[in-house]
Chains A and B, each alone.
Chain A
Amino acid sequence: DVVMTQTPVSLSVSLGGQVSISCRSSQSLVHNNGNTYLSWYLQKPGQSPQLLIYKVSNRFSGISDRFSGSGSGTDFTLKISRVEPDDLGVYYCGQGTQYPDTFGAGTKLELK
């Protein structure tokens, strides 16, 4: 199975600040069809995960442009700018290129 490794495990940020979360996969996430199926999710306290970014850098419907994804191959980054209180929670990366789909262990974003 593809192992997704997220760093850091937790992150403290001031409101209005900017943060980056790293996600590395144990194998390349480039599919035979040329697409890279790397997604980012946010799980707010007591809620289900919600999709933020799909295929590395595409924002899902209704997601603020303060969220941006980048990367290729095995190294990916989620950046959050102008952090707001509603951004706090646990962020997960996930891959759908290789079976089975797998997720990272999460990065907890907290207020400083």
Chain B
Amino acid sequence: QVQLKESGPGLVQPSETLSLTCTVSGFSLTSYSVSWVRQPSGKGPEWMGRMWYDGDTAYNSALKSRLSISRDTSKNQVFLKMNSLQTDDTGTYYCTRGDYGSRFAYWGQGTLVTVSS
């Protein structure tokens, strides 16, 4: 059974760095890509970046200067780090796995991140 679960701090101070972990089960990170997607309250999702199965990464150019995605295959975890957070970075952050013709076939439960002092 494919499962993804996000974890991390719910509250981040402005200008600080966000660190999130996606722990997966039911599949191997060396066989499937994992993406990070965020969603401000009441708005559509925004793709942030991707860890490919071969270890390569891809980033949304809008976030590329602030974003880093890495992984630990031995722990079945994918990591997101984003610096210089501002209030408009507030939202729910999801990790997702691709399959078939969609890169977002399976979604984690999401983790709410609030940027506030």
Contacts A48-B94, A48-B108 given; does A54 touch B101 at CB 8 Å: yes
Taking a contact as CB atoms under 8 Å apart, the answer to whether B100 and A48 are in contact is: no
Chain A to chain B: the 10 pairs with minimum beta-carbon distance, closest first: A55-B101, A48-B107, A54-B102, A101-B47, A54-B101, A100-B60, A39-B102, A103-B44, A105-B44, A103-B45
Taking a contact as CB atoms under 8 Å apart, the answer to whether B100 and A55 are in contact is: yes
Shortest distance between the CB of B54 and any CB in chain A (Å): 17
**How far, in whole Å, are A105 and B104 apart by their CA atoms in the complex?**
16
Contacts A48-B109, A104-B44, A105-B43 given; does A94 touch B104 at CB 8 Å: yes
* Chain B contacts for A7, CB-based, 8 A: none
Query: Which of B46, B47, B109 has most chain A Cβ within 10 Å?
Result: B47
B36-58 CB contact bits vs A (8 Å, 1 = yes)? 00000001111100000000001
Taking a contact as CB atoms under 8 Å apart, the answer to whether A96 and B44 are in contact is: no
**How far, in whole Å, are A51 and B99 apart by their CA atoms in the complex?**
10
Taking a contact as CB atoms under 8 Å apart, the answer to whether B44 and A106 are in contact is: yes
Partner of A41, one of B61, B104, B109: B104
B residues 33-84 near A (Cβ < 8 Å) are: 35, 43-47, 58, 60-62
B106-117 CB contact bits vs A (8 Å, 1 = yes)? 111110000000
Taking a contact as CB atoms under 8 Å apart, the answer to whether B44 and A60 are in contact is: no
Taking a contact as CB atoms under 8 Å apart, the answer to whether B44 and A51 are in contact is: no
A residues 11-32 near B (Cβ < 8 Å) are: none
Partner of A51, one of B46, B61, B105, B110: B105
Determine if A102 is an interface residue (Cβ-Cβ < 8 Å): yes
* Chain A contacts for B58, CB-based, 8 A: 99
Partner of B101, one of A37, A48, A101: A37
* 18 other A-B residue contacts (CB within 8 Å) besides A49-B107, A92-B45, A100-B62: A35-B101, A37-B102, A50-B107, A51-B102, A54-B101, A54-B102, A55-B100, A55-B101, A58-B100, A58-B101, A96-B101, A99-B58, A100-B47, A101-B104, A102-B47, A103-B45, A104-B44, A106-B44
